[in-house]
């Protein structure tokens, strides 16, 4: 049986390359299997502060829950001025209006039609908020465009009117820092802001930070060229501090060897009139995987600069490998030696230097999750977050797709809309998003576990999870455990079987974690569970149990007068944080204890390995 190994090779300790080793490569007939998505159609709004463009706002085709739209913040001028640009991308506008609301969106403060602007393909708007707002208070600011067909498009940011937030100065500092990283001589001015030390990882350009070397922060020996101006987002603004994100594209090489990369920079700074302090800096760089042209060499597929956490799922026989990098989903078939692009919101322009990258397609407020890969190269996957294009353009939601290898088609199984932000959706789905072979989708939203039948298009809530401590989920998202109604409920999402484990009438249970697919939970006497004046709960567990996914008891750990407060799970052991109960009923810390795991770790055929060259 053929084996595949994906390696990240670091050339001269600086260049990371992902290698897919598949024996002798004989067929370079790659296929683009991406479904046809209708082109992006929504305008983009960008704010202006002096000579700096910032806060690239992307539109929603429906009103969102304003309380959760915390992505960016605008600093108003001295007289509450607001300046912004609308790149219409050919959309003819019939109207522009502005809403100002309380931070949680519950109170409408202003609703103003904006009429002072010149129509065109790019429109500059100068306006001002009414004198209904207070200084140093955050508000929700919503800009609503209406096109000639009567469609409303919503854009969200926050706004603050203040005399001491120094927004322009902070934006100017970050712009200057960013520009100087591309000029090593000018970048010498940045050394005083850096904290280069042993904490910095200088082995890869995938991630550099404030602790990296000057050589690494200034791109080392990579001859990078910017393909796009950075989109600057001001995400937090206070009297002294500010946080910003920059997103842009760079390239290396020329002609057929030209490669393109998504780059994100994160800054947190503290400003005083005397100087600026760089508190945090991080830059990540991820190569866009190319599926056109010859990317094979020495029986390997070169994927370039990527992270070690790149998502990769294989079929049971190891002959189909599906991976995600830079927002693109690809499939490699060992048997046919074919690499295919399954999904991407954007077109790869690596080999066409004259084509502009579309900012709407490149908006990275979405994620891809591989749900299932079978031996027939059929793939089921999720796209969730902001939809850049297609029939759900301008919405936030969850799309479940299936790729049929025999018919070479991609079909949407179900779409679930969502009215909060991508960031909230991401946090919840990272806890649970699982699709079984029968087409039952399980996900965690709004403190609830839901089951969605993608065949019958029905849904039901399986459980309400009242607290974060009441639920744990296995690493593969296949087993879910929650505590409810005096019992632990163990659900195998693959078989849809639920096992109930009752605790005593005077006891409380708490799921703690997993060792593989074995469940770890603790049991405490109800009379021992107390809260302090700050609302923090003490949950001393007199017993820690381990059960398999079917509910069979494997081990019950219990020591006289010893109570477990928490546990950490390593690769082959459970570490218990314990306290000793004294005669007066108080607790004092005592030594840790360990429960060893003798079950061997499952090893997949395709491994991720880091090799220094």
Residues 450-484 pLDDT 10s: 999 999 999 999 999 988 889 999 989 999 999 99
State the Cα–Cα distance between residues 377 and 358, nearest whole angstrom.
31
The DSSP call for residue 148 is T
Residues 187-238 pLDDT 10s: 999 999 999 998 988 988 999 999 999 999 999 999 999 999 999 999 999 9
Residue 335 banded pLDDT, cuts 50, 70, 90: confident
DSSP 210-247: TTS-HHHHTTTT---EESSPPEEEEEEE-SSEEEEEEE
Inform me whether the pLDDT recorded for 42 exceeds 90.
yes
CB 312 within 8 A of CB 329: no
Cα–chain center distance at 52: 27
pLDDT for 348 equals 80
State the Cα–Cα distance between residues 223 and 254, nearest whole angstrom.
11
Pairing between strand 537-538 and 530-531? antiparallel
Cα–chain center distance at 209: 19
pLDDT for 452 equals 96
CA distances in angstroms from 259 to 174, 353, 379, 489, 590, listed in the order given: 26, 11, 27, 50, 56
Residue 353 banded pLDDT, cuts 50, 70, 90: low
Mean per-residue pLDDT for 440-445? 96
CB 92 within 8 A of CB 43: no
Mean per-residue pLDDT for 279-287? 97
pLDDT for 254 equals 84
Stated as kind and residue range, the H or E segment containing 500 is: strand 497-502
Phi-psi region of 457 (alpha: psi -120 to 50; beta: other; left: phi over 0): left
CB 470 within 8 A of CB 483: yes
Mean per-residue pLDDT for 60-86? 97
State the Cα–Cα distance between residues 409 and 387, nearest whole angstrom.
20
The DSSP call for residue 601 is P
CA distances in angstroms from 332 to 20, 167, 257, 318, 329, listed in the order given: 9, 47, 21, 10, 10
Q: What are phi and psi of 66, to 5 degrees?
A: -60, -35
Residue 332 banded pLDDT, cuts 50, 70, 90: confident
Mean per-residue pLDDT for 325-354? 84
pLDDT for 19 equals 34
Mean per-residue pLDDT for 491-499? 95
CB 79 within 8 A of CB 146: no
Q: Is the dihedral of CA 607, 610, 611, 613 positive or negative?
A: positive
Inform me whether the pLDDT recorded for 295 exceeds 70.
no
- Domains, the chain, ranges and CATH? 44-160 (2.60.40.10), 167-287 (3.10.450), 506-613 (no CATH)
What does pLDDT average to over the chain? 88
Inform me whether the pLDDT recorded for 568 exceeds 80.
yes
Burial of 458 (0-12, 13-18, 19+ CB in 10 A): exposed
Residue 543 banded pLDDT, cuts 50, 70, 90: very high
pLDDT for 431 equals 94
0.95 exceeded by pTM: no
Coil vs helix vs strand at 166 = coil
Picking from 272, 236, 268, 64, the residue whose alpha carbon sits closest to that of residue 138 is 236
Mean per-residue pLDDT for 241-269? 93
pLDDT for 375 equals 82
Mean per-residue pLDDT for 269-283? 96
Give CA torsion, residues 459, 460, 466, 471, to 10 deg.
-80
HEC sequence for 428-445: HHCCCEEECCCCEEEEEE
Q: Which of 111-120, 319-328, 372-381 has the highest mean pLDDT?
A: 111-120
């Amino acid at each position: 049986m053929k084996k595949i190994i994906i390696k990240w090779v670091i050339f001269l300790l600086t260049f990371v390359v992902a290698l897919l080793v598949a024996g002798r490569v004989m067929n370079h007939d790659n296929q683009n299997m991406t479904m046809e998505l209708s082109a992006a159609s929504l305008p983009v709004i960008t704010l202006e502060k002096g000579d700096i463009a910032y806060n690239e706002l992307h539109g929603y085709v429906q009103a969102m829950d304003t309380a959760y739209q915390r992505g960016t913040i605008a600093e108003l001028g001295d007289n509450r001025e607001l300046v912004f640009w609308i790149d219409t991308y050919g959309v003819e506008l019939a109207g522009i209006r502005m809403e100002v609301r309380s931070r949680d969106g519950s109170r409408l403060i202003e609703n103003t039609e904006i009429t002072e602007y010149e129509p065109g393909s790019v429109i500059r708007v100068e306006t001002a908020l009414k004198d209904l707002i207070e200084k140093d208070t955050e508000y929700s600011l919503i800009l609503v465009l209406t096109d000639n067909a009567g469609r409303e498009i919503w854009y969200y940011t926050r706004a603050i009117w203040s005399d001491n937030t120094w927004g322009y100065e902070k934006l100017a500092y970050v712009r200057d820092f960013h520009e100087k990283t591309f000029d090593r001589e000018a970048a010498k001015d940045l050394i005083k802001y850096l904290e280069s030390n042993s904490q910095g990882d200088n082995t890869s350009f995938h991630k550099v930070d404030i602790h990296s070397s000057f050589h690494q922060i200034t791109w080392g020996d990579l001859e990078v060229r910017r393909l796009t101006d950075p989109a600057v987002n001001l995400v937090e603004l206070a009297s002294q501090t500010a946080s910003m994100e920059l997103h842009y594209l760079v390239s290396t090489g020329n002609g057929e060897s030209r490669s393109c990369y998504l780059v994100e920079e994160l800054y947190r700074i503290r400003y005083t009139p005397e100087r600026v302090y760089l508190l945090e800096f991080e830059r990540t760089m991820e190569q866009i995987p190319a599926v056109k042209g010859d990317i094979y060499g020495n029986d390997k597929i070169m994927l370039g600069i990527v992270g070690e956490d790149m998502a990769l799922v294989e079929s049971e026989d190891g002959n189909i490998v599906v991976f995600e990098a830079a927002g693109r989903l690809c499939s490699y078939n060992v048997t046919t030696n074919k690499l295919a692009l399954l999904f991407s919101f954007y077109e790869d322009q690596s080999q066409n230097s004259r084509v502009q990258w579309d900012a709407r397609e490149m908006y990275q407020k979405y994620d891809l999750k591989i749900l299932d890969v079978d031996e027939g190269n059929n793939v089921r996957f999720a796209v969730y977050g902001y939809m850049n294009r297609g029939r759900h353009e301008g919405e936030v939601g969850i799309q479940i797709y299936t790729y049929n290898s025999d018919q070479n088609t991609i079909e949407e199984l179900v779409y679930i809309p969502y009215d909060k932000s991508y960031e909230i959706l991401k946090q919840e789905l990272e806890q649970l998003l699982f699709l079984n072979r029968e087409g039952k989708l399980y996900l965690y939203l709004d403190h609830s576990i839901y089951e969605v039948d993608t065949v019958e298009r029905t849904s039901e809530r399986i459980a309400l999870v009242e607290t974060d401590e009441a639920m744990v989920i296995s690493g593969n998202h296949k087993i879910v455990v929650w505590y409810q109604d005096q019992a632990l409920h163990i659900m195998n999402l693959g078989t849809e079987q639920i096992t109930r484990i009752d605790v005593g009438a005077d006891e409380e249970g708490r799921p703690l974690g997993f060792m593989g697919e074995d469940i770890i939970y603790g049991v405490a006497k109800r009379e021992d569970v107390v809260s302090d004046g700050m609302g923090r709960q003490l949950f001393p567990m007199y017993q820690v149990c381990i059960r398999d996914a079917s509910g069979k008891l494997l081990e019950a750990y219990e020591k006289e007068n010893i109570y477990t407060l928490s546990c950490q799970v390593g690769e082959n052991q459970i570490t218990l944080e314990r306290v000793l109960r004294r005669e007066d009923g108080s607790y004092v810390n005592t030594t840790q204890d360990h429960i060893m795991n003798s079950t061997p770790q499952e090893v997949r055929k395709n491994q991720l390995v880091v090799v220094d060259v």
